[in-house]
A and B are shown apart, each in its own frame.
Chain A
Amino acid sequence: MHEGAVYVVAGHAGGDRLALIDLHPVMYTAEAISGSVVLQFNGSSVTGVNIRETGVVSDTFTVVKATQTCGVDGDCDDANACTDDTCSADPAYTRRIPRAAPTPTSATASKFATAPAPASFRHRRRAARTGTPARWTRAIRPPAAPIRHCRKPRVARPQRRTS
C-alpha cells in the first residue's frame, strides 16, 4: 500500500533570480533563499536538511519507513500506526482493529490528506499587512516530528481466513 511521497523543489543552488509566488497548497514550507539540500539515508529512514547560503539550516524533514509486514490473519495490532493500514485489504476488518493512539507523526502525514488548506488569500493578506516575507511557512506548524511512512508489502498476502 502506497502512503505517499515527499516532493522537494531545489532550484536554489545558484542563487540567481530566486522567486516565490506563494506557498503552494501541497507544500509545508518554501523560501526564496539560495541553498542546497543534504539527504541522509539511514536504512529505514531518510532525513533531508535545507542549508542556506548563510549556513542556517532552515528546514529538516524525516520520512520513516515501517518495514513490518503482517501475518496470515492480519493480527498485527502492535500499536504501530502504520501496520493496520498495510495488513488487510478488507476495510471493514481494518476498522475493527483498534488503531494506535494518534501521534504527532501520523497527524503530520494525514493533515494534507484530510484538509489541504489553500494558503493564498490568508498569506496574501498577511503579506500585504507585514510586507512580503522571504519565507512562507504554515501559520500553525505541526510539531517537528518524523513523517511515518507505511511500508508497501512486497509479498502477496494469502486470503484472510474465514471462520
Chain B
Amino acid sequence: MLSGDDSDHYFVTAPPVGSSQSFTAWLIGDSGSGNASQYAVRDQMLSYMSGDPPDLVLHVGDIAYPWGTIPNYSNYYFDVYADILEKRVSWPTIGNHDAGYSFPDTETGPYYQAYSLPTAGEAGGVASGTESYYSFDYANVHFIVLDSQFSDRTPTGPMATWLIDDLAATTQDWIVAFWHHPPYTHGSHNSDNAEDSQARHQDMRENIIKILEAGGVDLVLTGHSHVYERSYLIDQVYCPACGAAPTTRLRATRHWLRTAAFSTAATATRRRRRLSEEPQPQHARRRGLRRRRSRRR
C-alpha cells in the first residue's frame, strides 16, 4: 500500500462496454510546472465541476518539469492533484520531458514505475505488448493512447500495425486518440517545421493520422505545444506543411532582405577579408556579427 487505506481513497470501475452512460474526462497536458497557474487551473476545473472531479483523467504527456524524475512527479503531479487522483483513474501518455529518465525497452524509470498500463488488452482493445501504447474502453468510447516519443512512427512499424488491428477490432461508437506531439499546432511548437521535435509532429500527421482517420477517429487530443488550440471538423489534412506557406514565405522574404538585398560588395569584401584573417575568438566574431546586423537595420 503506497498511500490511502482510508475512505478517501477509492476508484469507480468503468461502465459496461458499449453503454451510453454519460461521463466526464479531464484533459490536461504539460502540467507539472509547479507554479501558481497549475494550481489555479486545477481549482477552476473543480469549481466548474462543482467540486466533483471528472470520471477520468487523461494526461497528454510532460507530466512534470523539468524532467520526469520521481521527486518531480511527486511534487508537481501526485501532490498537486492528490485530491483528484486518489479517487479517479488516470491514463497517461509519455511526453518528451518524461522521456529522459524512463526507458521503453526495459519499461523502467519513473514513468513506467508510476503507472501500470495495459499490455495485453486488459482494459479492452487489442493487446499492444507494451506499456508505451495501449487502448482501453470506457462506456461507448474506445480510447487509444499512442507514444509519439519513443516508438516507431513509420506506417509499417509495430505501433502502426497494432493500431490498424486495434481500430479494426473495436465496435465502440466513439474513438478518441491521444498522444503527446500534435499533428497541427502553431503554439510554442510549430508542426510545420520539420526540425521541431525531430519531425515527430510531421510523422504523426503523415503516418499515424491517416490510419486513425481511416479507422474512424472522432477526437484527437495532444499536448507538447503550450497553448490551447481546437480545430474545425477536419479530414485528410496530411500535407507536409499544412498552412505553412504564408509563414514560410514571410520568413523567406525576411531572409532575402537581410542577405541578398543588403549584401553589398562592401559586405562581401569584409567577409572575404575576415575569412582570410587569423581565426578570431568566438565572442569577438559574434560581437562583430551583431554590430553588422544592427547597422543594416
Contacts from A to B (Cβ < 8 Å) = 2-44, 46, 48-55, 57-59, 61, 63, 65, 67, 108-109, 111-113, 116, 118-121, 124, 147, 149, 151-152, 154
Contacts and interface: CB of A to CB of B under 8 A. Distances in A.
B214 A2 contact: yes
Residue with the highest number of chain B CB atoms closer than 10 Å, among A15, A50, A54 = A15
B139 to A, nearest CB: 7
A32 B187 contact: yes
What 3 A-B pairs come out closest when comparing CB atoms? A15-B37, A25-B243, A43-B20
A11 B54 contact: no
A18 B226 contact: yes
Given A9-B187, A11-B187, A28 B48 contact: no
B244 to A, nearest CB: 9
Interface stretch (B110-118, B229-237, B269-277): B229-237
A11 B184 CA distance: 13
A3 B242 CA distance: 19
A151 B174 CA distance: 10
A57 B49 CA distance: 12
Contact of A35 (B44, B62, B237, B243): B44
A137 B225 CA distance: 18
B273 to A, nearest CB: 39
Given A22-B247, A40-B24, A51-B45, A2 B216 contact: yes
Given A10-B221, A21-B190, A39-B25, A59 B44 contact: no
Contacts of B37: 14-16, 34, 53
6 contacts: A11-B30, A11-B223, A15-B33, A39-B27, A46-B219, A113-B235
Contact of A6 (B40, B187, B218): B218
A13 B233 contact: no
B41 A15 contact: yes
B47 interface: yes
B186 A24 contact: yes
B247 A120 contact: yes
Contact of A5 (B35, B49, B229, B234): B234
Contacts of A55: 44, 47-48
Residue with the highest number of chain A CB atoms closer than 10 Å, among B38, B174, B219, B222 = B219
B14 interface: no
B22 A57 contact: no
A55 B22 CA distance: 23
A50 B221 CA distance: 13
